[in-house]
Amino acid sequence: MSSLELDPIFITLKLAAITTIVLLIIGTPLAWWLANSKTRYKTPIEAIVALPLVLPPTVLGFYMLIALSPDGFIGKFWSLFSDERLTFSFIGLVIGSVIYSLPFVVQPLQAGFENVGKPLQQAAATLGAKPFEIFFTIILPLSYRAFFVAISLGFAHTVGEFGVVLMIGGNIPGLTKVLSITIYDHVEALEYSIAHIYSAALLVFSFVILLITYTANRKLSIRL
């Protein structure tokens, strides 16, 4: 455990990429619904989406562990399709990360959709466009900045995840051992020099992603 491993880096990037894709698939309709819904259920659902922002990752991880276990409601459902366990597996990590990073994707998208506003959608509808046509011809092109922010925040936040992963993914080298946990291990073993390398890499990586996001966001907003 004293040499530099590359596996955790690959697992981390793979986890972040898959999580971001799943989040776009789930988060886009959810954000669209939140941006347009007038029902009284909207506010409680917004609050639930925002929960991972304030909950300690260990609390979230604890409940996920119970839900993903073979007797939990997600685990039971999963066992209908597969003999593998969800806990301490890569798929389990993806499910945990999706919930953990949900607000970082849904909130920018919702704001982006709301920003496009009703008036242009109404104009499009009077010109004969059906709702899904309005989404693809008006909403998407006018909220691509929001997608850019959502993708980069969702990705970066998943890369930086620790507590939830530890609770449900454990520390299985080559399978669920991500970068943040590797750093923790090295610190525990008092191998500060290696911890330094990983930490610095993660710091630079996160900074660069945020820098790109903010720069692009400003440039794009000037163009529009």
Partner 1 sequence: MIKAHYKKSFSNFKLDAEFEIPASGITILFGPSGSGKSTLLNCIAGLENTDVAKLAINNDYYDNTELNIRASCPQRQFGYVFQDSRLFPHMTILRNLQYGFKRVKPHLQTFDINKLIKKFLLTDLLEQFPHQLSGGQKQRVALARSILSHPRLLILDEPMSALDYAAKQALYPYLEYIHKELSLPIIYVSHDLKEVLQLGDYVLIMDNGKIIDRGDLVDLCVTQPLLTQDEGSSFILQGVVTETDEQQCITTVQCQSHILLLSGKLLEIKQPVRILVHAKDVSISLTPVNDSSILNILKTTISKINAPENGKQLIELKIGETKLVSTLSIRSVNQLNLKPGLDVYAQIKATATIR
Return d(Cα 211, Cα 173) in angstroms, integer. 31
Contact characters 174-193, partner 1, x per CB under 8 A: --------------------
Q: Are 60 and 99 in contact (CB under 8 A)?
A: yes
Among 128, 132, 190, 222, contact with partner 1 (rule: CB under 8 A)? 128
Tell whether residue 119 is a contact of partner 1 (CB under 8 A).
yes
Among residues 31, 35, 93, 138, which is the contact residue for partner 1, using CB under 8 A?
A: 138
Helices (H), 5-162: 7-36, 42-54, 57-68, 73-79, 90-116, 118-126, 131-134, 140-142, 144-159
- 44 near partner 1, rule: CB under 8 A: no
Nearer to partner 1, 145 or 177 (CB): 145
Q: Residue 151, SS3?
A: helix
Question: Rounded distance, CA 107 to CA 149, Å?
Answer: 10
Q: How many CB atoms lie within 10 A of CB 128?
A: 7
Compute the distance between CA of residue 100 and CA of residue 22 in angstroms, rounded to an integer. Answer: 12
Q: Which stretch binds partner 1 (CB under 8 A): 46-54, 118-126, 145-153, 209-217?
A: 118-126
Considering the rule CB under 8 A, would residue 40 count as an interface residue with partner 1? no
Least distance from C-beta 156 to partner 1, angstroms? 27
The answer to the question of residue 130 lying near partner 1 (CB under 8 A) is yes
Q: Which stretch binds partner 1 (CB under 8 A): 22-30, 127-135, 145-153, 185-193?
A: 127-135
- Count of beta carbons in the 10 Å neighbourhood of residue 211: 10
Stretch that binds partner 1, among 65-73, 85-93, 123-131, 160-168 (CB under 8 A): 123-131
Binding footprint of partner 1 on the chain (CB under 8 A): 119-120, 122-130, 137-138, 141-142, 224
